[in-house]
Structure 1
Amino acid sequence: MATELNTPQNRVRFGEFEFDCITRELKKSGRVMRLEPQPAKVLSVLVHKAGEIVTRQELIRTVWGADTFVDFDQGLNYAIRRIRAALEDDADAPRFLETVPKLGYRLIALISSSPNSELEDANHTASLPSTTLPRLYWVAIGASVLILVLFLAGPAIISEFRRPSPQIAEPVSSIAVLPLRNLSADPEQEYFSDGMTDELITDLAKSNKLRVTSHTSVERYKNTRVPLPEIAKQLGVDAIIEGTVMRSAGRVRITVQLIDSRSDQHLWADSYERDLNDILKLQDEVATQIASKIGSHIISPTDARMAVRDVSSNPNKQPIRPLNIEAHDAYLKGRYWWHRRGTEAETRGLQFFQRAVDLDPTYAPAWAGIADSYAVMAHHGGLQANEAMPKAETAALKALALDDSLAEAHASLALIKFSYYWDYATADEEFRRAIELDPNYATAHHWYSHYLVFAGRFEQALSEIQIARQLDPYSVSINTWSALIYYYQGQYERSAAQFRSTLELDPAFGPFVADDLARVYEQQENYPEAIKEHQLEWTAAGRPKDGELLRNAFLAGGPDGYWRRRVSLLKPVGRSGIGSALQLALVYSHMRDREQTLRWLEYAYQEHSPWINFMARDPEFAWLRTEPQFENLESRIGLLASGTR
């Protein structure tokens, strides 16, 4: 007679744990423990042969089979680690799972059957009959054969044999995708797993209901042991996605699982395997399935990323072209470096984006990456604006010509129009279009708040930056700008408090926010604290003596000595120098040196400084705003016509 799924012999107990040999669900004291499909299969084999040594070769043959491309050793090692973590077991002093050196593993726990009733009573457990384990073993073998047949005869996607998804008690409105773990033997493939994480985040962000945490904020949890509920609390999300990526021999496998972080309940897991040529469709399918599990749906598919659009007078779209794997690979490497920021990382990212479009000139996301890179390098001082921004505009327009649905390209074009060409109407339109296309794109909200500060719409700017912080809570640039909005309003106490709040998130941010926090202290004439911030900034930059020089100048000459030294430490100006024309204008303005302030503002105008249009809002220039020469400069930048005065 056929074995029923919930007969007692199919569910076994060991210690405080219960394992269902058919659904492979592990519980501890009635609570479902997270266990990914592959580790669950390994545990199933060990349970069936409890007390016996199971060799590594047998586990590999039974769980993975001979025809799969998986790196067996690394996959098995990972599975054993996950089992031990779920069982809270110690490899050096095991209660449940023993390593037998040079052979394999043995489940050493005493196995007993579990009652069929849902109202389980530990006192009713009985010893498992000796005939049960062989029976269960053959049931498992039969199930394995069935899965193998389905794999050979069915579609490319391999769906793991799993239990029905439990019901979600409360709607999921926010989610974070933790960095997918790289199971490839080659550590150089780390960029690939990071890229898969980034693209899964991008696809999920197109959901009509979800708030999806940005890549830069989830990256900090890579290779950490922070409990998932704590990660969810820190990120402010309802659910977590975690999983693995394996790439080998022209194929890729992604395994993901969905956890409700509020109840720590495992909701769903699945595994997918396809050719690299089909990777974008695979990502779409994974994102769509995740969204459907939590009652949402993906608004716009990413087919547009694979297609070349005909933007000529012919309204018909060109057919979808095959993915250029090398171009996609270069693009993933570009984004890998993009997320790390800093001049060196931005330069390397740009090189890979350029490599991608050299391989495939129709690859729109790579053109958007080029636009992002040039625009950010101009803002951070990596390149002169006159050199970088026209290239950024060309790349952004190329990306949009190929795919007008790319929020990243619209946001980059908006920033370029706003900060370089001073075309404020177009900038406003492009920012709003980017947010409409992807409400979860933190960078679009962040950059739009720049425009709103410039326009004097501070409440809207604070609203937009708050959205950006929810989406990317650990972004240095977003948190810094949040504090600077208060600075531009003249609310220095709130600005300093926001900076301190940023440093509580991560003290390592200190050197990155030091210069801006020093500006706040300078407005408050709190020179000792400003000196501390500059000392931190310059020490991190390899210039520790500069901070000491500034401190000595202040002790000897007070505020006047402080500002004279600030000027000398900023020169020479230029790409190979320390300061910028706009920085010198700010320092001279604080010294109330009208001639030098206007002189350096003119230089900043000529080089199209990406920050010069904030002169209308910076409290440092308030005393100059009635000067005819200052008004003339504002007029040339378009500040008067825009109504920002």
Structure 2
Amino acid sequence: MIGQRLEHFRIVEKIGAGGMGIVYRAHDEQLDRDVAIKVLPAESFRDPSSRARLLREARTASKLNHPHICTIHEVGESEGQAFIAMEFVEGQPLSALLEGGALPVDRMLRYGVQLADALAHAHERGVVHRDLKSANVVVTPEGRAKVLDFGLAGRLSREDLTDATTQTQESTTLSGKIVGTLAYMAPEQLRGQPADERSDIWALGVMLYEMASGARPFKGQTGFELSSAILSQAPPPLPSGPGGPPPAPLRSVIERCLEKDPDRRYQRAGDVRRALEAIESGTAPTAWPAVKYALSRRRWPALLAGLAIVLAIVAALDVGGLRRRLLGGAVAPGLRSLAVLPVANLSGDPGQEYFTDGMTDALITDISKIGALKVISRTSVMQYKGAKKPLPEIARELKVDTVLEASAVSEAGRVRVTAQLIEAATDRHLWAESYERDMSSILALQSEVARAVARAIQVKLRPEEEKRLAGARAVNPATYEAYLRGMFHLNKETPADVQKGIAYLHAAVEKDPADPLAYAGLALGYIAIAHGADPTEDAMQRAKAAAATALKLDDTLPEALLASGFVKGYYEWQWEEADREIRRALDINPSSAEGYFHLSWFHALLGRMDEAIEEHIRAQELDPFNPANTAWLAELYRWEERYDEAAAEALKSIQMAPGFPVGHFVLGLVQQDRGMYDEAIASLQKAAEADPEWRWALGPTYVAAGRKDEARKLLAELK
């Protein structure tokens, strides 16, 4: 099929094959992306009802939206050939990874948590995998496990199952069809009973055993021997792995997943995830007591009531800190800094980048309203968009202890978001949740995520913070889309994009004249024009009017307060009023790097240099990879004649962004102040090369260096 087309997919190469079809890498020519195409064999459809059922289940699975589940993009047919288009996941199958033997405990726990989380997400939405195995899990280069083929598992016929389980001689006739699956099948499936969520938990237990030992728990030379072992034998004790013997709590988790009786297993994948997370964090007990299931059902109510009374008394007294553990679980102390990584675009459509980038901005803004947290600003986190760095490395670079990952897709007036909070040092999942809402409730969804983050790391919200986050208003979906598109273009910062962004924001205002966000965006757009290469005379007046309207509609909107403070400070020279506006913005959004940046410069212009430098350093901490923050901090140091610090910060800015002129400009001024005229001129020439608007800075330096002819020539050119 190489080179052929299925609808708008061009087949590029074969990448795998199995009992449920051949898998190809293909190129989606409509959306310009690579996908994986599973071409379903005709024999997988024994009758029309089988065909309808499989396609229906695949479509149901396509609604799953989770970072550890391979996304199904499309289910279709072309000239009678059924196919399924899926996310193309780069990486190595877990089965291939395990050919090298057992994994270190920390790594297998990380994968185990991710897989259990994926199962929990699917099970909560009524989707059972039924063919979970290590060959159906891919580990990406970043160390993330992704489950493939949700909703695509073919149900074995009773004849196939009988053939496999009664086979008494070694044979390859069934190997491509079900022998690989047989090793992961739960006892109830072998007995011909339907698979449910607990069958997936059994398969997860087999994979956990594999990762911990490098071998499967049940073996047999034939299908009969293998199925007999699954039905009647206990798994061998786990041997020591690369890091020594597996911890006792891990053995207990695996043993409970592999209980023959499904009623004795974990009943929910979320319980498996929590048990594994407890082992990761070191809070699991050294062994879990055996659970007895022989109690009469009639005795359960009395037993539970008695247990509830005991727990209530013990928790009230906080014996051994039990109350905290019962109500919250263990969270490492001092988790107070966070980075929201760029929200992943699950649609695969580059045209939806405006939406996921806007979600990133909104989540940063809402979580930044929690005063106890330090939240890294947009400019610094957006450099990780599309990056494949491990999370602990990203966290070290940003100097945070937690990371929020999210993915989103918007379609047909609905938005689906999956988010997970991860402790960076351990890669431990602190919280994960999926949401689906009408677009009109998008602001409430973002606030809900912010409150969930606070709960996950046990931050108590102040009453005013709770009130702001709980008071999210409904939006007009068309207005909000225009707003997001407008901000998407403003953030690109090119003159053409700024104009395009303002056009979208005007459209947003026309759709809903009572939308404060749209007016705040307009104010920022006109400020960008006023400070751009080609300012218009009325740009700052328009910015002032838009900011005033936004504040009339919502006087707690940080974006509007910042815009108003900017106009009052840099345009009207009302420093004290500007200071008040910016401080109000920072009261509401204490992690606003932009707020601290402007507050710093207002104080510098008022001669309050100690405050100015302290505030600028705070802006730099919140936005560490913004070259403008670093370059202008260098200028403050220069004003104070702290030349070594000024030069160091200017060089740091240049290293971040060699094409950003301000770093070269400030370094040139430092060199000029030190009498290093040749070096200063070289630095200022680099600033002018980066942006010709900065050529003027060479004039005073030419004069100071005694190069008056060059100064006159430059002056004539600038005229």
The answer for the alignment partner of 2:658 in structure 1 is 508
State whether residues 182 and 246 of structure 1, in contact with CA within 8 Å, keep that contact through their aligned partners in structure 2: yes
Equivalent residue in structure 2 for 1:536, among 679, 686, 692: 686
Instruction: Find the aligned partners of 1:414 and 1:234 in 2 and give their Cα distance.
Output: 31
* RMSD (Å), alpha carbons: 4.7
The answer for the alignment partner of 2:671 in structure 1 is 521
State whether residues 342 and 405 of structure 2, in contact with CA within 8 Å, keep that contact through their aligned partners in structure 1: yes
Equivalent residue in structure 2 for 1:442, among 566, 575, 593: 593
Q: Aligned AA for 2:476? A: N
Equivalent residue in structure 2 for 1:273, among 436, 457, 473: 436
CA pair 330-473 structure 1, distance change in 2 beyond 3 A: same
Instruction: Find the aligned partners of 1:334 and 1:137 in 2 and give their Cα distance.
Output: 56
Q: Aligned AA for 1:437? A: I
Is the aligned partner of 1:390 residue 2:538? no
> Can you give the 5+ residue segments of structure 2 that lack an aligned partner in the other structure?
1-94, 148-175, 185-202, 220-225, 232-256, 279-329
CA pair 472-345 structure 1, distance change in 2 beyond 3 A: farther
Instruction: Find the aligned partners of 1:528 and 1:432 in 2 and give their Cα distance.
Output: 42
CA pair 458-541 structure 1, distance change in 2 beyond 3 A: closer
The answer for the alignment partner of 2:530 in structure 1 is 378
The answer for the alignment partner of 2:53 in structure 1 is none
Cα offset, 1:396, TM superposition: 1.1
Cα offset, 1:516, TM superposition: 3.5
SS at match of 1:296: coil
TM-score of the superposed pair, with normalisation by structure 2: 0.58
Equivalent residue in structure 2 for 1:86, among 117, 141, 144: 144
- 1:579-616 Cα distance to aligned partner (Å, 9 max, x none): xxxxxxxxxxxxxxxxxxxxxxxxxxxxxxxxxxxxxx
Instruction: Find the aligned partners of 1:535 and 1:183 in 2 and give their Cα distance.
Output: 44
TM-score of the superposed pair, with normalisation by structure 1: 0.64
Q: Aligned AA for 2:376? A: T
State whether residues 370 and 465 of structure 2, in contact with CA within 8 Å, keep that contact through their aligned partners in structure 1: no
The answer for the alignment partner of 2:218 in structure 1 is 127
Instruction: Find the aligned partners of 1:500 and 1:511 in 2 and give their Cα distance.
Output: 12
The answer for the alignment partner of 2:296 in structure 1 is none
The 5-angstrom pairing of residues 49-448 of structure 1 reads 49-50=132-133, 80=138, 82=140, 85-86=143-144, 122=213, 126-127=217-218, 130=227, 163=274, 166=278, 167-299=330-462, 300=464, 322-384=474-536, 386-448=537-599
SS at match of 2:417: strand
Cα offset, 1:258, TM superposition: 1.1
- 1:270-324 Cα distance to aligned partner (Å, 9 max, x none): 11111112211111111111111001145556987998xxxxxxxxxxxx97411
Instruction: Find the aligned partners of 2:422 and 2:683 in 1 and give their Cα distance.
Output: 42
Instruction: Find the aligned partners of 2:715 and 2:396 in 1 and give their Cα distance.
Output: 45
State whether residues 407 and 419 of structure 2, in contact with CA within 8 Å, keep that contact through their aligned partners in structure 1: yes
State whether residues 50 and 106 of structure 1, in contact with CA within 8 Å, keep that contact through their aligned partners in structure 2: no
Equivalent residue in structure 2 for 1:485, among 626, 636, 643: 636
Q: Aligned AA for 1:422? A: W
SS at match of 2:389: coil
Q: Aligned AA for 2:715? A: V
SS at match of 1:266: strand
CA pair 417-32 structure 1, distance change in 2 beyond 3 A: same
CA pair 407-114 structure 1, distance change in 2 beyond 3 A: closer
State whether residues 108 and 212 of structure 2, in contact with CA within 8 Å, keep that contact through their aligned partners in structure 1: no
State whether residues 422 and 428 of structure 2, in contact with CA within 8 Å, keep that contact through their aligned partners in structure 1: yes
Cα offset, 1:532, TM superposition: 2.4
Instruction: Find the aligned partners of 1:441 and 1:447 in 2 and give their Cα distance.
Output: 10
Cα offset, 1:480, TM superposition: 1.9
- 1:211-248 Cα distance to aligned partner (Å, 9 max, x none): 00111110000101111111111111010111211111
Instruction: Find the aligned partners of 1:109 and 1:87 in 2 and give their Cα distance.
Output: 22
Instruction: Find the aligned partners of 2:260 and 2:413 in 1 and give their Cα distance.
Output: 34
The 5-angstrom pairing of residues 618-633 of structure 1 reads none
SS at match of 1:267: strand
Farther-moved stretch of structure 1 (373-382 vs 394-403): 373-382
- 1:458-515 Cα distance to aligned partner (Å, 9 max, x none): 11001111111111111222222211112222333432221012233x1435445333
Q: Aligned AA for 1:251? A: R
Q: Aligned AA for 1:177? A: V
Instruction: Find the aligned partners of 2:400 and 2:540 in 1 and give their Cα distance.
Output: 36
State whether residues 98 and 214 of structure 2, in contact with CA within 8 Å, keep that contact through their aligned partners in structure 1: no
Cα offset, 1:173, TM superposition: 0.7
> Can you give the 5+ residue segments of structure 1 that lack an aligned partner in the other structure?
1-11, 20-25, 55-78, 90-102, 148-158, 308-319, 573-645
SS at match of 1:263: coil
Cα offset, 1:123, TM superposition: 9.9
Instruction: Find the aligned partners of 1:105 and 1:417 in 2 and give their Cα distance.
Output: 72
Q: Aligned AA for 2:479? A: A
SS at match of 2:625: coil
Cα offset, 1:564, TM superposition: 2.5
CA pair 133-247 structure 1, distance change in 2 beyond 3 A: farther
CA pair 371-115 structure 1, distance change in 2 beyond 3 A: closer
State whether residues 371 and 391 of structure 1, in contact with CA within 8 Å, keep that contact through their aligned partners in structure 2: yes
Q: Aligned AA for 2:367? A: L
- 1:357-413 Cα distance to aligned partner (Å, 9 max, x none): 1211111122112222222432344414x4222111111111111111112212221
Equivalent residue in structure 2 for 1:35, among 93, 96, 114: 114
Q: Greater relative contact order (Cα 8 A, min sep 6): structure 1 or 2?
A: 1
Cα offset, 1:162, TM superposition: 5.2
State whether residues 103 and 214 of structure 2, in contact with CA within 8 Å, keep that contact through their aligned partners in structure 1: no
Cα offset, 1:541, TM superposition: 4.1
Instruction: Find the aligned partners of 2:483 and 2:260 in 1 and give their Cα distance.
Output: 47
The answer for the alignment partner of 2:709 in structure 1 is 561
- 1:53-92 Cα distance to aligned partner (Å, 9 max, x none): 97xxxxxxxxxxxxxxxxxxxxxxxx85659943699xxx
SS at match of 2:274: coil
The answer for the alignment partner of 2:21 in structure 1 is none
- 1:250-280 Cα distance to aligned partner (Å, 9 max, x none): 2111111111112222222211111112211
CA pair 81-251 structure 1, distance change in 2 beyond 3 A: farther
CA pair 249-146 structure 1, distance change in 2 beyond 3 A: farther
State whether residues 238 and 261 of structure 1, in contact with CA within 8 Å, keep that contact through their aligned partners in structure 2: yes
State whether residues 214 and 472 of structure 1, in contact with CA within 8 Å, keep that contact through their aligned partners in structure 2: yes
SS at match of 1:232: helix
